[in-house]
Amino acid sequence: MANDLPIAAVVRIAKKNGAERVGSDAAQAIVDASEDYIAKLTKEASKYALHAGRKTIKKEDVDMAVNA
C-alpha cells in the first residue's frame, strides 16, 4: 500500500516520544493509523468549513473537529 506519510518521519516522531527502536511492521501500523486519523479529522473539519459557508478549512474548523 502506498502511503502519503513518510515512514521515516513517523519513526522519528516515535523515537522523539520514547521509542528506542521501531520495527518496520510497527512503523507501517503507525503510518496507517495516522493516515486514518488525518482523513477522519479532515472530513470532520470540512463539514465545519462548509457549514460556515467556506470551502477552505481553517484552524478553527480543525480545533472544533478535534474536540467533536
Cell of 25: 511492521
Residue 2's pLDDT is: 80
Largest Cα separation within the chain, whole Å, is 46
Q: Which DSSP string do the residues of 2-44 spell out, in sequence order?
A: --SS-HHHHHHHHHHTT-S---HHHHHHHHHHHHHHHHHHHHH
Buried-exposed string 28-38: b where 16+ CB fall within 10 A, e elsewhere: eebbeebeeee
pLDDT band at 1 (very low <50, low <70, confident <90, very high): low
Cell of 33: 493509523
Q: What predicted TM-score, i.e. pTM, was given to this entire model?
A: 0.88
pLDDT digits (tens, 9 = 90+) for 25-66: 999 999 999 999 999 999 999 999 999 999 999 999 999 999
